[in-house]
Structure 1
Amino acid sequence: MVERLQGDEGDEMTILPLIETNEQYAQNLIPVADKLLGWLSRGLGLEDGEMKQGLGGEDLTYMLKINYYPPCPCPDLALGVAPHTDMSAITILVPNEVQGLQVFKDDHWYDVAYIPNALIIHIGDQVQILSNGKYKSVYHRTTVNKDKTRMSWPMFLEPPLEFEVGPIPKLISQDNPPKYKTKKFKDYVYCKLNKLSQ
């Protein structure tokens, strides 16, 4: 299901072309997401559909967001988005040509290079949980630019709010006990947003 957030009454007439374009874009990403989840499943020695089933199967939610970062006169004093991991399962991101995404590895922030016509894929918290920590959620942030506007179009794949997510049973053994609790996605979101232990 692709969710559409509603604006104020009457807004639809002025933004209708944008809504239709973004909904078509979102629909085109669904097969890409299915392939990614299949590859992630195989990487764990599972069948193609097991990762998707562990996230809610055909009830997965696809949420498109549009990020707009205007030029900032003091980019060294501001961040576009503070460091975080995504609560989603995976994030499929289309950036514009203005650099701004950074990932954290080995105690250092690295710029993610812009490659024309390429998608950026982030592993999110839910895939880390499903894989029992084999796949790691990407710790990242965004910076701003002094002279140019930066935009990005992330699509977040999320389980339904009432769906319970936990390590896939086939990945659990005596030698590899569960590292995460199984809980409803809405409870995970609540804990993360309120900085409560999981």
Structure 2
Amino acid sequence: MQAEPIVSAQGQCLSGPLLLTPQRFGDDRGWFFESWNQRRFDAAVGEPVAFVQDNHSRSSQGVLRGLHYQLPAAPQAKLVRASVGRILDVVVDLRASSASFGQWAGVELSAESQQQLWVPEGFAHGFLTLSDVAEVQYKTRGYWSRDQERAIRWDDPALAISWPLETLGSATVSLSEKDAQAPTLSDAQAAGEVFP
């Protein structure tokens, strides 16, 4: 497994998130790769990680989920991959003490590349479905908490995330009601709903 840090749209290396590329073995019959190996993952992120929940979603083209996170009282880290189709996966640094606070980075994850994105606590996470359909699977460190879950607006002008909307063809962005009503990062920070 190869692990590499990701760089924000502002050109700064984000401390924490990693793009993980598994070693794939293939021939004319097909391919094989390890989608999960505890020892290799712990070595890549530099700490032992105990996952407590696996999630699986299916989305049509144009569905945008996020930007989600859980407050520091019950934070949640994620290991994300697309097992069907393609998505643009985005992280936003919500650690107020970080030099990259408010910066974002996006990586395309696909069933073809088999790459995974490690999203540690302290980051908001979301994705846009680029293909006709995508299935996204992710492991979480920390259980989902209705009381601690929060979201940041996907189109917050201060973040200026470059969602590739031009690739959607006739599809339009489709949001949940909760995501459509999410506050901006500055509103979340003013409410004390970011990480220290």
Instruction: Report the TM range for the smaller structure's normalisation.
Output: 0.3 to 0.5
More helix, by proportion: 1
- Scaled by the length of structure 1, the TM-score of the pair is 0.40
Q: Which of these two proteins has the greater Rg computed from alpha carbons?
A: 1
Q: Provide the TM-score with structure 2 as the length reference.
A: 0.41
Choose between structure 1 and 2 for higher RCO, CA contacts under 8 A separated by at least 6 residues. Answer: 2
